[in-house]
Amino acid sequence: MERTLVLIKSDGVQRGLVGRIMQRFEDAGLKIIGLKMAWVDTDFAAKHYFDLKERKGEKVFKLTADYLTEGPVVAMVLEGVETCANARRITGETQPSASAPGTIRGDFAHHGYAHADKTGRAIRNLIHASGNADEAKIEIPLWFTPAELHDYSTDAQKHTF
């Protein structure tokens, strides 16, 4: 079984979309094995976005870290078959305006990089999902201790695992 980290960012929490977003993953047969709400500080945001400065530069890192720290986030660990790829598919493209209808970002967000640049804010894309299994292996222990991850069976496992 593969695991991935998913964060519902502060805009998703503030807009009351947490339940609807979680439902998308459960509908696809992914199992929630860890779940919490947390306020993130700047130091923790830097740990989470450990390579963003190198990949995108200081400005993007600062905007993204500020976005992650502006309100509470819901963090969850999902488990299932090909969980990273499936969670990313359900989430949609990083830029909401490029996300297909039926994805979380395609259905609940609509702006693009041009709007984010114009307003001087990070792109409001509601959610983070680990990019791949290697990234998930770094991110999950940052957000969850082993005792916070739960092993249990679901009816969906008979059909999806």
The number of C-alpha atoms within 13 Å of 100 and in the hemisphere containing its C-beta is 7
Out of 48, 111, 128, 150, pick the active-site residue: 128
Q: Which residues pair with 79 in a beta bridge?
A: 3, 31
Structure tokens at 148: 């916070």
For 69, the 3-state DSSP assignment is: helix
Torsions phi, psi for 143 (to 5 deg): -95, -30
**2: which strand partners?**
80
Give yes or no: 128 in active site. Answer: yes
The type of residue at 157 is Q
| Catalytic residue ranges | 128
